[in-house]
Chains A and B, each alone.
Chain A
Amino acid sequence: DTGVSQNPRHKITKRGQNVTFRCDPISEHNRLYWYRQTLGQGPEFLTYFQNEAQLEKSRLLSDRFSAERPKGSFSTLEIQRTEQGDSAMYLCASSPRDRDEKLFFGSGTQLSVL
């Protein structure tokens, strides 16, 4: 296992469409995070899971966003009714232990909403 894997790498969609991204964390990492990054900004926290439990969601995350991590393995992030403002890099990260805050990021999914 070489690292966090994200698919797709790029996604172009039209406004109003739904999109889903997938993240496969490093094996045995029980924490999984989703961040969003726009040009010139640092990554912005969206949500995180410990195993299959979603422990926190950012107040910035609208109800159009939903994330799941069934069985505590891979995770999906779905955006419904996409808007142009959703265009960003969506980053997934995992960390190895409950109290270890070192995050290891995947390559990200670049979303463009036209």
Chain B
Amino acid sequence: QKEVEQNSGPLSVPEGAIASLNCTYSDRGSQSFFWYRQYSGKSPELIMFIYSNGDKEDGRFTAQLNKASQYVSLLIRDSQPSDSATYLCAVSTGFQKLVFGTGTRLLVSP
């Protein structure tokens, strides 16, 4: 079982819709959770982080964490074509290195 699992996609949504990206992790001791966006040929860019159960909102982005279910998600409201990218979920167990999933490719069509 991989430590961090994501559906590779692509996830296709129309412009203006809500995109929902999901991630599960295997280590119950995981403490910190991150979402990175990666455009093709570019390096990952941090867009959200969450440490506690519940929701955290930042602009059009909402991160949701459920530690009991070992599940973290990212919602993107009012999706734009510029949101088309690969979204990487990353998890830390507290040893201060991040373990990444394989990423979900998001395609937002105009």
* A contact residues vs B (CB 8 Å cutoff): 31, 33, 35, 40-45, 48, 56, 89, 91, 95, 98-99, 101-108
Q: Would you call B100 and A42 a contact (CB within 8 A)? A: yes
Q: How large is the interface on B (under 10, 10 to 19, 20 to 34, 35 or more residues)?
A: 20 to 34
Q: Would you call B44 and A40 a contact (CB within 8 A)? A: no
Closest residue of chain A to B105 (Cβ to Cβ) is: A40
CB<8 Å pairs between A and B, sample of 18 = A33-B97, A40-B8, A41-B102, A42-B102, A43-B44, A43-B88, A43-B100, A45-B97, A56-B95, A89-B43, A91-B44, A99-B96, A101-B34, A101-B98, A102-B49, A105-B43, A106-B43, A107-B42
CB interface residues, B 21-39, toward A, < 8 Å = 32, 34
**Chain B binding surface, main DSSP class:** strand
* B contact residues vs A (CB 8 Å cutoff): 4, 8, 32, 34, 42-46, 49, 88, 90, 92, 95-103
User: Which 10 A-B pairs rank lowest in CB-CB distance, beginning with the nearest?
Assistant: A42-B100, A105-B43, A101-B92, A43-B100, A42-B102, A108-B43, A101-B32, A105-B44, A45-B97, A42-B101
